[in-house]
C-alpha cells in the first residue's frame, strides 16, 4: 500500500523542535548555523509559514517561510521569503518537496500573497530543474556568497553563491507549468551549463569545483546584468543547462 503523505502547519514547540533536528540530519549543519526554535515560533505568529511533511506520523520534511516587504514605487507590498525547505534523504524522489511547495502556494494565494521567493545553489541542478520546470519559478537575480562558507558537507566548502527564485504563484506561467507540465514558449538568448557530475567533482576535486562555480557565477552575473532571466532548464546525460531570455514580471500591487 502506498505511503500517505500529510502536509500540515506546525504549531507546537515539540514540532518546531523536530524541524530544528531535521536541519542537522538533512544538511549536517553545526549547532551555530541551525535556525533556532524561536524563529519557527515567530514565523508561525507573524504571518509566515511553518509546514511539516509526515509519513505514518513521522515528520520527514519541513518548510519555513517568513513575510517580507517590497519597497516598490507607489506603495510597499508583502511577499513571502521561503527560507528553508528540506526532506530526509531516504524520503526523496517521492514528490514530498513538491507537495510542500504546493501547500505553500495554496496558503499564499489564500492570504492574498502573489510572490514567493527563495534562494538555491546554481550547482544543484536537480533543485534548479524542480524550481524552474516543475514549479514555474524564474531567476532574475544572482548573489555572490550570500551566506558565507558554511559547515554543511553539502556545500563542500565553496562560497554560497545563490540564484534568487521568484515564484509568481497565480501567474499564467506558473498555472501553465502546474497544469500542463510545460512552460510557455521561450526566446532563449543565453545558456549556462553545469556538469551532471558536479557532486562528484565537489567531493573529489574541490579546485575544479571552484573553477566551475566561478565560471557559472560569472555567466550569471553577466546575463542578469543584461536583463535576462532564467525561464527554462534543460537536462542531458552530461549537463544541466539554464535557459535565459527576456521576461517581464507580472504587475504587482
83 lies in some domain: yes
The DSSP line for 236-252 is: -SSEEEEEEE---PPP-
Q: What are the backbone dihedrals phi and psi of residue 149, each rounded to the nearest 5 degrees, phi first?
A: -80, 125
Distance from C-alpha of 232 to C-alpha of 230, rounded to nearest angstrom: 6
Into how many domains does the chain fold?
Answer: 1
Q: Residue 92: what pLDDT?
A: 87
Query: What is the residue range of 82's domain?
Result: 5-185
The DSSP line for 183-198 is: PPP----EEEEEETTH
Question: Do the Cβ atoms of 35 and 50 come closer than 8 Å?
Answer: no
Residue 253: is its pLDDT beyond 90? no
Domain CATH code at residue 134: 3.40.630.30
- 31-87 confidence digits (pLDDT tens): 877 899 999 999 999 999 999 999 999 999 999 999 999 987 778 889 999 999 999
Q: What is the DSSP letter of 132?
A: I
223 lies in some domain: no
38 lies in some domain: yes
84 lies in some domain: yes
Q: How confident is the model at residue 157 (pLDDT cuts 50, 70, 90)?
A: confident
34 lies in some domain: yes
- 18-32 confidence digits (pLDDT tens): 999 999 889 887 787
Amino acid at each position: 500500500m502506498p505511503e500517505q503523505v500529510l502536509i500540515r502547519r506546525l504549531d507546537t514547540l515539540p514540532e518546531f523542535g523536530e524541524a530544528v533536528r531535521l536541519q542537522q540530519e538533512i544538511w549536517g549543519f553545526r549547532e551555530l548555523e541551525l535556525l533556532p526554535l524561536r524563529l519557527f515560533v515567530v514565523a508561525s505568529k507573524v504571518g509566515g509559514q511553518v509546514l511539516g511533511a509526515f509519513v505514518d506520523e513521522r515528520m520527514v520534511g519541513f518548510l519555513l517561510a517568513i513575510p517580507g516587504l517590497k519597497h516598490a514605487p507607489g506603495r510597499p507590498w508583502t511577499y513571502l521569503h521561503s527560507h528553508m525547505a528540506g526532506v530526509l534523504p531516504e524520503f526523496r524522489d517521492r514528490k514530498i518537496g513538491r507537495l510542500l511547495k504546493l501547500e505553500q502556494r495554496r496558503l499564499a494565494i489564500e492570504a492574498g500573497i502573489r510572490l514567493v521567493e527563495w534562494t538555491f545553489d546554481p550547482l544543484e541542478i536537480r533543485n534548479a530543474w524542480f524550481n524552474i520546470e516543475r514549479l514555474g519559478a524564474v531567476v532574475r537575480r544572482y548573489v555572490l556568497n550570500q551566506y558565507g562558507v558554511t559547515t554543511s558537507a553539502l556545500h563542500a566548502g565553496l562560497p554560497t553563491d545563490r540564484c534568487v527564485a521568484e515564484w509568481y504563484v497565480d501567474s499564467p506561467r506558473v498555472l501553465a507549468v502546474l497544469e500542463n507540465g510545460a512552460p510557455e514558449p521561450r526566446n532563449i538568448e543565453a545558456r549556462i551549463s553545469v556538469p551532471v557530475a558536479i557532486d562528484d567533482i565537489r567531493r573529489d576535486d574541490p579546485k575544479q569545483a571552484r573553477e566551475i562555480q566561478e565560471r557559472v557565477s560569472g555567466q550569471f552575473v553577466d546575463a542578469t546584468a543584461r536583463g535576462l532571466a532564467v525561464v527554462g532548464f534543460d537536462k542531458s546525460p552530461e549537463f544541466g543547462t539554464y535557459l535565459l531570455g527576456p521576461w517581464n514580471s507580472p504587475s504587482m500591487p
